[in-house]
Amino acid sequence: MAHQLDIDQIVREVLARLRDGEAAEKLAADSTGKAEKTDKQLATATTAGSLELTDRLVTLATLENRLDGIRHVILRRGAVVTPAARDALGARRINTSYAPTAAKAATTLVVGVASLAARSPAFDRAAFLEELARDGRQIERIAETGLASVVAELASLAALGGRPAVLLTAEPEAAACLANRRSGVRAVAGRDVATLRRAIVATGANLLTIDPTGAPAAIGRLLREFCDGWPPRVPAILSTDKPQQ
């Protein structure tokens, strides 16, 4: 019986030692993995040799103990670097550049359709709007009713100034005239890119009226010209915020 107890004790000790050995091996492996990961991260940072700063003002204190192994510093757009900090960078022959400007959020294009059926019965509204969407435009379409009511709704949206407004109509000049009766609206009729570009600069156009039944490529160029410069710069003479002379 005593012999049996000795055997049981030996078995327990052997199992305990095995468990201790496995735990030690696992701990060693984990430590090695962490060390390798840290070394790899340090190597990557050293190889890249770049430091990106988000500070609005970069001083000597900003750079302190951060330039070892650095060959290129990326500054936030509009950051100011003090003369002393710039001298420190120059002494180390460290180049600087500015982070790229973030991409502008896509602007929603508000589209209205009016007075097309009589003169352009073959115009496919759905296909046209689908093509705009494939071109990367976010489209919000207002209900198709009469010319006067569609113009009034688009004019109201244009006057708020948040989104570019476009009216597809067989009567673009008349529609622009109607829209411009509302304060804050600067509607122009688009016929070709060069004329539209001049009109945008001269008026800060916020509503475009076009006849969409022409060549699709030409219509697409008009829309890109109108939307890509959004929001437009309003000439001082047309600003509604200033008293009229």
**Token couple for 10:** 């030996």
Quick check: is 189 in a domain?
A: yes
Looking at the structure, tell me whether residues 73 and 116 fall in a common domain.
no
pTM above 0.75, yes or no: no
Quick check: is 153 in a domain?
A: yes
Query: Pick from 98, 128, 158: which residue ends a domain?
Result: 98
Looking at the structure, tell me whether residues 227 and 123 fall in a common domain.
yes
Residue 225 DSSP SS3: helix
Looking at the structure, tell me whether residues 93 and 112 fall in a common domain.
no
Looking at the structure, tell me whether residues 229 and 114 fall in a common domain.
yes
Residues 6+ apart with CB under 8 A from 222: 190, 192, 193, 196, 208, 210
Query: Pick from 98, 123, 138: which residue ends a domain?
Result: 98
Looking at the structure, tell me whether residues 92 and 112 fall in a common domain.
no
Quick check: is 191 in a domain?
A: yes
- Which uninterrupted H or E stretch holds 152? helix 147-160
- Which uninterrupted H or E stretch holds 97? strand 95-98
Residue 199: CB atoms within 10 Å? 21
Looking at the structure, tell me whether residues 53 and 76 fall in a common domain.
yes
Quick check: is 33 in a domain?
A: no
Q: At 181, which CATH number?
A: 3.40.1400.10
* Residue range(s) defining the domain that contains residue 196: 108-236
Quick check: is 119 in a domain?
A: yes
Output the tens digit of pLDDT for each of the chain's 245 residues.
444 445 566 556 655 555 555 554 454 445 444 444 443 333 333 336 889 898 888 999 999 989 998 999 999 877 889 999 999 999 999 999 888 765 455 678 899 999 886 555 566 777 777 777 766 678 889 988 899 999 999 999 999 888 899 999 999 999 999 999 999 999 999 988 889 989 998 999 999 999 988 777 788 888 888 888 788 888 888 875 444 44
Quick check: is 23 in a domain?
A: no
Quick check: is 16 in a domain?
A: no
Quick check: is 14 in a domain?
A: no
Looking at the structure, tell me whether residues 119 and 223 fall in a common domain.
yes
Looking at the structure, tell me whether residues 68 and 152 fall in a common domain.
no
User: Where do we find the tokens 């496995």?
Assistant: 22
Residue 184: CB atoms within 10 Å? 14
Query: Pick from 70, 98, 126: which residue ends a domain?
Result: 98
Domains held by the chain: number: 2
CA distances from 176 to 95, 113, 114, 169 (A): 52, 13, 13, 10
Looking at the structure, tell me whether residues 80 and 194 fall in a common domain.
no
